[in-house]
Amino acid sequence: MSPAAAAPALEELLERLADARQRVAGVAHRTPVATSRTLDARVGCRVFLKCENLQRMGAFKFRGAYNTLSRLPDEARRHGVVAYSSGNHAQAVALVARLLEIPATIVMPSTAPALKLDATRDYGAEVVFYDRAGEEREAMAERLAGERGLTLIPPFDHPDIVAGQGTAAAELFEQAGPLDVLLVPVGGGGLIAGAALAARLLRPACRVIGVEPEAGDDGARSFREGRIVRAPCGETIADGARTPSVGRLNFEIIRACVSDMITATDAELKRAMRFVMERLKLVVEPTGVLGLAPLLSGRLAPAGERIGVILSGGNVDLTQAAEWFAETPRE
Amino acid sequence: MSPAAAAPALEELLERLADARQRVAGVAHRTPVATSRTLDARVGCRVFLKCENLQRMGAFKFRGAYNTLSRLPDEARRHGVVAYSSGNHAQAVALVARLLEIPATIVMPSTAPALKLDATRDYGAEVVFYDRAGEEREAMAERLAGERGLTLIPPFDHPDIVAGQGTAAAELFEQAGPLDVLLVPVGGGGLIAGAALAARLLRPACRVIGVEPEAGDDGARSFREGRIVRAPCGETIADGARTPSVGRLNFEIIRACVSDMITATDAELKRAMRFVMERLKLVVEPTGVLGLAPLLSGRLAPAGERIGVILSGGNVDLTQAAEWFAETPRE
């Protein structure tokens, strides 16, 4: 798969989203939408939290992976797929490949945590390590694809990935009723591109706003400068949003359909995580609360509106989270 | 309120449950039912988890408190209510009293954690402390009720409390379809008595099984001996189930409608908590996983059946939970 080789027109993307909804129905969880009077009183608007932390393998990534792999022709399925990721995309591709009986190879850093390594292998994928100091993981995955005839499943910059991720926001629009604003975590931009397409299709009046970690604000800078800014991500606990740049296709969709891009600090993410876990009883990962943090911190104060937020994932080390909370004031 | 002064007949209790369902509708959350293919594969049956950890104030106790307070006559509402509890019942009565604009006094131990104290006061209740070494808290609450003309809201042994708690299981039967077994945490027996009534009403073929902490197995002993056994609870992390005996009314219902009473160790509770938080991304308290622990530990192995489990609450200190997990093997 060559990412965004010929960027499809908006109309074609909207059709792919509609098709993706059919494909994931009954396979991906239609995750619940959580609401909280305490949260609403705290931030002064009605908030609808789309719980993708309760998605299969614990993150929205299942949707894009399923949509993409389910569209592969038989020939490609027989040869198998390859993906590079140390995080949720790896587990998503591994799980979906098992469901569809497609051989999967995952390129992971040799320093990946044992927990994520085990989870990926438990799903039956072959894990190939790369050395951070040596060959780039993307190059290694491409080399494997070429040598073994595998189809490379990119983590975010592909129309099928985008369409799959967009099914989360599409469900939210149906579940929550009219939304004025939708807040979405941004790493490589697959989730927000899909969410923006869903808004265009189902609720064009809704403003879609992306949220990045402050230490990795390449997307916000790209949005302001009107060109893709590539910058290595600084230190942040939002490990799912450490991409150095948004994808090319995704940037086109962001430019066309997204209203704004803002950031959240690690301290704000920790406070938001603590609030969600202590008050809403939901386990979320740092990247997962990017959309909520600006509301709780007051950076964004859309008084009286109906706000959708995608809680994108819940794969976090609980011991690590408890350590963060020990140094974090309660909201 | 004199607990179980004249125990109502089963038929009257079933009517109270039907009435309670009307009362809590639209006020209590109709909490979601979580399912997990991972969990089902692990235990060999289909499990339906009723997420009362996602209930208002974080536990099923809201249901019984709302049902009971909403039935009070105007005169009693004007004078106010009193409850004794250091846990979820205190917060439930405080929150419901605020919603119904009823003055509330809560008797708490002077050693209650600041978090629970603050939560109760945040709901607008007056907190009165008792000294564990001095007057019994129940006696103190009764004295306050007499002196100030307050209505005492008992924590579990009352038909309105039981009927309110029963609405959780009633919803589960509707949401999950036919269940063969329903596993319910047991402290004072209000939740299981209500659940047993709901089963009688909606799914008489379902076996209702109570689960207690091993260190506080008075209910299981009472069940076997056919009389209420009163025994101080030993050390257990299941702080919501430390009652020395089940209520009189509740015991009558348990005897008539419950199939069995079993126990779970603290080690089993920690493993179950870890599983639910890490895999299902739900924050649960130790008492909340009493129903799930026997399935995960293999103490109960109902192969191929459809099993309902009430996750009764989620009010737990996350730092404490992380410490437990550090010493707990992953399931």
Determine the average pLDDT of the residues in A128-143. 83
Chain B residues in contact with A314 (beta carbon < 8 A): 281
Question: What is the number of domains present in chain A?
Answer: 2
Is B174 found in the same domain as B44? yes
Instruction: Please report whether residue A206 resides in a domain.
Output: yes
What are the Cα distances from residue A177, in Å, to A26, A174, B113, B324?
22, 6, 40, 41
Q: What secondary structure letter does DSSP report for B204?
A: T
Is A42 found in the same domain as A117? no
Instruction: Please report whether residue B322 resides in a domain.
Output: yes
Whether B61 is a known active-site residue: answer: yes
Chain A residues in contact with B282 (beta carbon < 8 A): 281-283
What are the Cα distances from residue B329, in Å, to A184, B228, B269?
35, 36, 12
CA nearest neighbour of B168 among B277, B293, B9, B49: B49
Q: Residues A298-317: pLDDT tens digits? A: 999 876 699 999 999 999 99
- pLDDT confidence of residue B130: 86
Which residue of chain A is at minimal alpha-carbon distance from B318? A322
Is B266 found in the same domain as B195? yes
Is A165 found in the same domain as A33? yes
Instruction: Please report whether residue B3 resides in a domain.
Output: no
Whether A50 is a known active-site residue: answer: no
3-state SS assignment for residue A228: coil
Is A273 found in the same domain as A262? yes
Is A203 found in the same domain as A126? no
Burial B184-201 (b: 16+ CB within 10 A, else e): bbbbbbbbbbbbbbbbbb
CA dist., res. A252 & res. A263, Å (int)? 20
Last residue of a domain, one of B103, B132, B152: B152
Number of helices (H), then strands (E), in chain B: 14, 10
Is B173 found in the same domain as B100? no
| CATH code of A146's domain | 3.40.50.1100
CA nearest neighbour of B81 among B62, B63, B100: B100
Q: Which amino acid is at B73?
A: P
CA nearest neighbour of A257 among A203, A306, A294, A300: A203
Whether B58 is a known active-site residue: answer: no
Q: Where are the alpha helices (DSSP H) in chain A?
A: 10-24, 37-43, 61-70, 74-79, 88-99, 114-122, 137-148, 159-176, 190-202, 218-225, 248-257, 266-279, 293-297, 318-326
Distance from CA of A143 to the nearest CA of B (A): 34
Paired residues of B212 in beta bridges: B263
Is B201 found in the same domain as B306? yes
CA dist., res. B136 & res. A140, Å (int)? 70
Q: pTM for this one?
A: 0.93
Q: Which domain holds residue B321?
A: 10-59+158-326
- Which tokens sit at A280? 């809403």
Catalytic residue among A61, A116, A194, A313: A61
Is A224 found in the same domain as A117? no
Instruction: Please report whether residue B24 resides in a domain.
Output: yes
Instruction: Please report whether residue B101 resides in a domain.
Output: yes
Is A88 found in the same domain as A48? no
B318 and A319 within 8 Å at the Cβ level: the answer is no
Q: What secondary structure letter does DSSP report for A313?
A: B
Chain A residues in contact with B326 (beta carbon < 8 A): 319
CA dist., res. B310 & res. B50, Å (int)? 5
Position B183 pLDDT exceeds 70: yes
CA dist., res. A15 & res. A26, Å (int)? 19
Whether A64 is a known active-site residue: answer: no
Contact between B91 and B318 under an 8 Å Cβ cutoff? The reply is: no
B318 and A318 within 8 Å at the Cβ level: the answer is yes
Q: Per-residue DSSP letters for B82-106?
A: EEE-SSHHHHHHHHHHHHTT--EEE
CA dist., res. A5 & res. A250, Å (int)? 12
B326 and A319 within 8 Å at the Cβ level: the answer is yes
Contact between A322 and B318 under an 8 Å Cβ cutoff? The reply is: yes
Determine the average pLDDT of the residues in B57-67. 97
CA dist., res. B3 & res. A288, Å (int)? 47
Contact between B241 and B185 under an 8 Å Cβ cutoff? The reply is: yes
Q: Residues B79-99: pLDDT tens digits? A: 999 999 878 999 999 999 999
3-state SS assignment for residue A183: strand
- pLDDT confidence of residue B133: 66
Instruction: Please report whether residue A89 resides in a domain.
Output: yes
Position B115 pLDDT exceeds 80: no
Chain B residues in contact with A56 (beta carbon < 8 A): 37
Best of A27, A54, A115, A281 to substitute, by most chain B Cβ atoms within 10 angstroms, is A281
Percent over 70 (pLDDT), chain B: 96
Is B71 found in the same domain as B38? no
Last residue of a domain, one of A128, A152, A176: A152
- pLDDT confidence of residue B101: 97
The predicted complex's ipTM stands at 0.91
Is B79 found in the same domain as B51? no
Q: Residues B273-329: pLDDT tens digits? A: 999 999 999 999 999 999 999 999 999 987 669 999 999 999 999 999 999 998 887
Paired residues of A107 in beta bridges: A84, A128
CA dist., res. A110 & res. A117, Å (int)? 10
CA dist., res. B3 & res. B5, Å (int)? 5
3-state SS assignment for residue A263: strand
Q: Which of B282, B319, B323 sits opposite A325 (nearest CB)?
A: B319
Instruction: Please report whether residue A5 resides in a domain.
Output: no
CA dist., res. B290 & res. B218, Å (int)? 15
Last residue of a domain, one of A123, A152, A181: A152
Chain A positions touching chain B (beta carbons under 8 Å): 32, 34, 37, 53-54, 56, 58, 274, 277-278, 280-284, 314, 318-319, 321-323, 325-326
Instruction: Please report whether residue A3 resides in a domain.
Output: no
pLDDT band at B126 (very low <50, low <70, confident <90, very high): very high
B51 phi and psi angles, rounded to 5 deg: -85, 70
